[in-house]
Amino acid sequence: MKKIIVFASGSGTNAENIIKYFAKTENAKVVSVFTNNPSAKVIERAKNHQIPVEIFSKTELLERNVLQKIQEIDPDLIVLAGFLLKFPENIIEKYPNKIINIHPALLPNYGGKGMYGMHIHRAIVNNKEKETGISIHYVNENYDEGGIIFQKNIALTDEDTPETVAEKIHELEQKYFPEIIQTILEQ
């Protein structure tokens, strides 16, 4: 049984979707959720599925505390699903090509520090982009610069608002993120 750790900072809809998806499979499961936000909704979502939760501070992430907890679990894959802190190099070095992230835009466009959530969707609408999408990529020491594993685009119209773009992106994330995780684990 392959072990997945999910890192999330917010509501946890992608994390919960991944938990549910792998609860129905026999080859992998989410064994823990890690969060830096003690009031994140992801905590309640994980507990509703009997998934243990690790809550940590930014300092604990940068020091060895979080790495030690990850090593105790010995995951096959670390999945960032709405995790907003920069991932530390000490963990990236220990788990090369075993850490993936989902980004709500077609990288390399709209990536980098400060580019997340509604910030991205507003920028896309303000720039009158004709399409957007999701990017699933490996995590390296720079925001949103790791090798791209998968991208899926979706057309936009002049009527789209940041909110409708967010809904379209969320649908893509819910459909493709678990499937791509499954594919990676089968390689």
What positions carry a catalytic annotation?
Answer: 103
Residue partners of 183: CB distance under 8 A and separation at least 6: none
Could you tell me the sign of the dihedral formed by the alpha carbons of 171, 175, 178, 183, in that order?
A: negative
Sign of CA dihedral 13, 35, 46, 138: positive
Beta carbons within 10 angstroms of residue 161's beta carbon: 11
Please report, to the nearest 10 degrees, the dihedral formed by the alpha carbons of residues 9, 13, 14, 17 taken in order. 140
| Helix, coil or strand: residue 40 | coil
Q: Which residue has the tokens 């507003």?
A: 122
